[in-house]
Amino acid sequence: MDERHILHIDMDAFFASVEQSANPFLRGKPVIVGGNRTLRSIVATASYEARAFGIRTGMPLGQAFRLCPHAILVMGDTSKYADTSRRIFTFLNEISPLVEIFSIDEAFLDLTPRGCLIRDPIEAAYLIKSMIRFDFHFTCSIGIGPNKLIAKLASEMEKPDGLVWIRKKEVQGVLEKLPVDKLCGIGPHLKKRLAHIGITTCGKLRRISLKTLTKRFGIMGGRRLYQMGRGISESSVMPFFSEPLAKSMGHVHTLSHDTSDRENIETVLLMLCEKVARRLREKNFQGRVVTFVIRFSDFETLSRQHAQPHLIDRADEILKAALKIFSEMGCDHRAVRMLGVSVSNLVQGARQLDLLEEDQSKRRLTETLDEINDKYGEFTMAPAAITRSRAYEPHYDALKTKGKLTHRLETWD
Ligand code: TTP
Ligand code: MG
C-alpha cells in the first residue's frame, strides 16, 4: 500500500496574526494578545516580531513590556478567532473529506481518501498556505508525515511559515536524537518519569523493550510509548465534518403542574441550562445565540432569540441570556406550562479561548464539576441555586438521568 500522507496545519502566532490581519497598522509590529491590562495577566500569544524580543506565551505582561516597551497590547476577542478558524477549517474540508480539528488553530488532514481534491501533499500544502496568506494575510506551518504523530512533529520544526515533509523511511533518523517531549503526548510529567530511567531521546526510547515499558507504564501506556519511540501512531484522522454539524442544542421541560412562581420557573430554567451546557461541553461546542421558549397554561407559546457578544458554553451564561429574554417578554405573572432553552450558531473546538482570568477560574470550576458529574451522575454537583431551591426536588426527579444528589455547591454566582 502506498504511504499515507497526513498533513498537520498550525497557524503561526494565531491570535496575534488574526489581529494583524484585521488591523494593517499592527502588521510587522510586536503585538501581544492578552486578557487584561493588570500586570498579573499573562501573554496569550505574541506576534513573531514580539517573540524576537523574548516574549513568550504564558509570560506575565509586566515582564513582556520590560523586554519590549513598545509592544502593542491587544485585548483578546474570542469570537473573532473562532470565526477565522471556522473559515479556515471549512476551506481545508474542501481539499479532503478527512479533516480533524485538533485545536483552535490546528487541524490534521488526510490525503488518502478518494474524494480528495489534491493527492500530492506538497501541492496541497502550497494551496493551503497561499489561501491563508491571500484570504487572511498571515502564515501557517505545515508538517507532512505518514501519521499524525510525525506530521505534528514536522509542523513544529520550521516555524513560522514552515513546510516539512518527513517520509516513512526518514522517521528513524529524525527521531534518533530528538528529545522525547517533542512528541505530542509526552508532557513534563511523563518526560520526568522517562528521564528517571535514563530515557531522554526517542532513540533511547526505541531501544527499550516492550516488556520493560509495560512493566513501568502499564499495558496501554507501555505499548503507546513503544510505538512512539518508533514513530508509529495508530490514531486515525477523526473527521470532524463527517457528522453533520449540530445546528443547535437545547432542552425543553413540561412542568408537573402549571405555575407562575418565579423561583420555580427559574429553578427549572437553570437545570435546563445546566443540561444544555453539559451537552455543549461534551461535544466541545460553544454557541452564540440563545433561544428561550415558553408555553403558558393556555398553550400560547412564545420564543425569542438573543445573540451573545461572545461564544458561550456555561450554564450561568446561558441562564443570564434566557432570563433577560424572559423579563423582556413582560409576562411574569402568567402561569407557565413548559420551558425550553437552546444554544445555536455553534462552533466546535474553540475552547482554548479563555483569556480573561475570571473566565479561566470559572472554566476550571466547570470542568471539575463536569468530571464529578460524569463519574457519579448528572446533578451530583449542581449550583446551589438549584439544590437550595424549594422547587428543586420534583424537577430534579424529572430531569436527572442517573445518580444521586450528594453535594451542594454553595459558591456559584
Ligand atoms: P498555539 O498554536 O500554541 O500558538 P500560536 O499559534 O500563538 O503560535 P505558534 O506559531 O507557535 O503556533 O496556540 C494557538 C492560539 O491559542 C494562540 O494564538 C493563543 C491561544 N493560546 C492560549 O490562549 N493559551 C495558551 O496557553 C496557548 C498555548 C495558546
Ligand atoms: Mg499556532
The catalytic site residues sit at: 106
At residue 90, the pLDDT reads: 87
What are the per-10-residue average pLDDT scores of the chain (413 residues)?
Answer: 89 97 96 70 94 95 95 88 88 90 89 89 96 95 97 97 97 97 92 95 96 92 94 85 64 88 91 92 88 88 88 92 93 88 82 51 66 57 52 46 31 25
- What are 39-56's pLDDT values in tens digits? 458 899 999 999 999 999
Name the nearest CA neighbour of 208 among 232, 231, 230: 230
Residue with cell 432570563: 323
Query: What pTM did the predictor assign?
Result: 0.65
Per the CB < 8 A criterion, the answer to whether 326 and 292 are in contact is yes
Pairing of strands 31-34, 43-46: antiparallel
Is the CB of 352 within 6 Å of ligand 1? Answer: yes
CA 219-223-227 angle, to 5 degrees, is: 175
At residue 376, the pLDDT reads: 53
The contacts of residue 173 (CB under 8 Å, 6+ apart) are: none
- What are 258-291's pLDDT values in tens digits? 999 998 899 999 999 999 999 998 888 889 899 9
**Radius of gyration of the CA atoms of the chain, in A:** 25
* Atom number of ligand 1 nearest to Cα 355: 23
Residue whose CA is closest, atom 20 of ligand 1? 44
Residue with cell 513560522: 160
Per the CB < 8 A criterion, the answer to whether 228 and 204 are in contact is no
At residue 103, the pLDDT reads: 81
At residue 86, the pLDDT reads: 84
At residue 369, the pLDDT reads: 66
Is the CB of 13 within 6 Å of ligand 1? Answer: yes
At residue 246, the pLDDT reads: 64
Is the CB of 104 within 6 Å of ligand 1? Answer: yes
Is the CB of 59 within 6 Å of ligand 1? Answer: no
Q: 3-class DSSP state for residue 165?
A: strand
Q: Identify the bridge partners of residue 248 per DSSP, sorted by sequence position.
A: 344
* Atom number of ligand 1 nearest to Cα 160: 10
At residue 406, the pLDDT reads: 29
Mutate to test the pocket of ligand 1, among 11, 18, 45 (most ligand atoms within 8 A of CB): 45
User: In terms of C-beta distances under 8 Å and separation of at least 24 residues, what long-range contacts does 105-108 make, across chains too?
Assistant: 105/10, 105/11, 105/14, 105/81, 106/8, 106/9, 106/10, 106/11, 107/8, 107/9, 108/6, 108/7, 108/8, 108/9, 108/148, 108/151, 108/152, 108/237
157 Cα to the center of ligand 2, angstroms: 13
